[in-house]
């Protein structure tokens, strides 16, 4: 784990807010945006933890932690932490890796096929994420949670335990379907628990063609009155910075025209949630 920067540790023990990135459709940019937004928050002076709640471990992989993800000898992983948070939460910091701009709590290969099925029907099955992160929350200013494109007990955890959620989507019909399914999952969670706080919609990987522009306009029309709808263009730089395990654009491309959009997402997180630390302000 990185040493906490000079701005925070001594004085700030408020629990970090949790921000989940969710959409039931794969390939919309949940993992990419987790890294880019974590980098943006870091650039604002916040201590950030990114949690890889997606069993396939794409976030861990992008950040260069394939070896940790697939180390089957490792006995205490995010899988065990979620199954038995009361016992493991105080040691959760031992699972945290230093990913440069921010820290990572990686997924583990055992989570594939095992975690959701083992949790289903267990007591407090939809409170496990908050229980698992209880001790870590005081060590960070903000926690981002990347998710798999599914409706299951893990994504229910992300919806229920996040203080705010961001919904990445593509400007194409299929990802809007994923979005519709997510809205149904949100409605089901809200029926049993408390309201879900949607921070905004990130329309990602927008291309220059009429179909994409029409879809963006439609999303703005449907949601823009009540929610921020951010527009991220298709940019090789967003992919490339990750491919080099260099994490976010903030470290590598200070000229990118997408930085202001990421900054706007950070501003919305700051405005809505009790983010710790001083930031840059």
Ligand X SMILES: Nc1ncnc2c1ncn2[C@@H]1O[C@H](COP(=O)(O)OP(=O)(O)O)[C@@H](O)[C@H]1O
Torsion angle of C-alpha atoms 219, 225, 226, 229, degrees rounded to 10: 40
The region that residue 26 occupies, defined by phi over 0 for left and psi between -120 and 50 for alpha, beta otherwise, is: beta
Least distance to Mg ion, CB of residue 10, Å? 35
How far apart (Å, rounded) are the C-alpha atoms in residues 274 and 225?
Answer: 24
Among 8, 23, 31, 256, binds Mg ion (CB under 5 A): 31
30 scored as a contact of Mg ion (CB under 5 A): yes
- In the sheet with 142-146, reading across from the earlier edge strand, the strands are 97-98, 103-105, 48-52, 142-146, 18-21, 164-170, 198-206, 229-233
Least distance to Mg ion, CB of residue 169, Å? 13
Binding-site partner at residue 14 among Mg ion, ligand X, none, CB < 5 to 8 Å by type: none
Q: In the numeric block, which tokens belong to residue 195?
A: 């309201």
Least distance to ligand X, CB of residue 235, Å? 5
Q: In the numeric block, which tokens belong to residue 271?
A: 């405005």
99 — phi, psi (to 5°)? -100, 20
Binding-site partner at residue 277 among ligand X, Mg ion, none, CB < 5 to 8 Å by type: none
38 scored as a contact of Mg ion (CB under 5 A): no
Least distance to ligand X, CB of residue 145, Å? 12
Binding-site partner at residue 96 among ligand X, Mg ion, none, CB < 5 to 8 Å by type: none
Q: Between 146 and 156, name the residue whose CB sits nearer to ligand X.
A: 146
Among 58, 89, 154, 159, binds Mg ion (CB under 5 A): 58
State which of positions 242-261 bind Mg ion (CB under 5 A): none
Q: Between 15 and 57, name the residue whose CB sits nearer to ligand X.
A: 57
Distances (CA, A) of 68 to 17, 64, 76, 201: 26, 9, 11, 32
128 scored as a contact of Mg ion (CB under 5 A): no
Nearest residue relative to Mg ion (C-beta): 31
Binding-site partner at residue 232 among Mg ion, ligand X, none, CB < 5 to 8 Å by type: ligand X
How far apart (Å, rounded) are the C-alpha atoms in residues 14 and 91?
Answer: 19
What stretches of 134-235 show up as alpha helix (H) in DSSP?
153-161, 173-192, 210-223
**Nearby residues of 263 by Cβ (< 8 Å), 6 or more positions away:** 40
Least distance to Mg ion, CB of residue 28, Å? 8
Rule CB under 6 A: which residues touch ligand X?
26-32, 58, 204-205, 232, 234-235, 238-239
- Interacting residues toward Mg ion by CB under 5 A: 30-31, 58
């Amino acid at each position: 784990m990185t040493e906490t920067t000079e701005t925070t540790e001594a004085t700030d023990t408020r629990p970090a807010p949790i921000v989940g990135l969710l959409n039931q459709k794969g390939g919309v940019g949940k993992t990419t945006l987790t890294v880019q937004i974590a980098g943006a928050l870091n650039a604002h002076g916040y201590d950030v933890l990114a949690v890889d709640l997606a069993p396939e471990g794409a976030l861990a992989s992008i950040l260069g932690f394939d070896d940790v993800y697939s180390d089957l000898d490792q006995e205490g992983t995010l899988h065990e932490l979620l199954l038995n948070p009361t016992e493991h939460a105080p040691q959760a910091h031992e699972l945290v890796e230093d990913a440069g701009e921010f820290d990572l709590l990686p997924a583990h290969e055992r989570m594939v096929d095992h975690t959701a099925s083992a949790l289903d029907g267990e007591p407090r099955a939809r409170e496990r994420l908050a229980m698992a992160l209880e001790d870590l929350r005081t060590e960070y200013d903000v926690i981002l949670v990347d998710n798999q494109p599914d409706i299951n007990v893990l994504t229910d955890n992300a919806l229920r335990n996040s203080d705010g959620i961001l919904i990445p989507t593509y400007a194409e019909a299929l990802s809007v379907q994923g979005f519709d399914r997510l809205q149904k999952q949100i409605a089901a969670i809200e029926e049993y628990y408390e309201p879900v706080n949607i921070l905004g919609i990130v329309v990602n990987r927008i291309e220059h063609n009429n179909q994409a522009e029409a879809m963006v306009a439609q999303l703005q029309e449907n949601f823009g009155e009540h929610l921020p709808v951010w527009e991220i263009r298709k940019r090789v730089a967003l992919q490339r910075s990750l491919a080099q395990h260099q994490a976010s654009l903030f470290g590598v491309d200070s000229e990118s025209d997408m930085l202001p959009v990421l900054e706007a997402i950070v501003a919305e997180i700051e405005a809505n949630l009790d983010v710790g630390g001083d930031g840059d302000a």
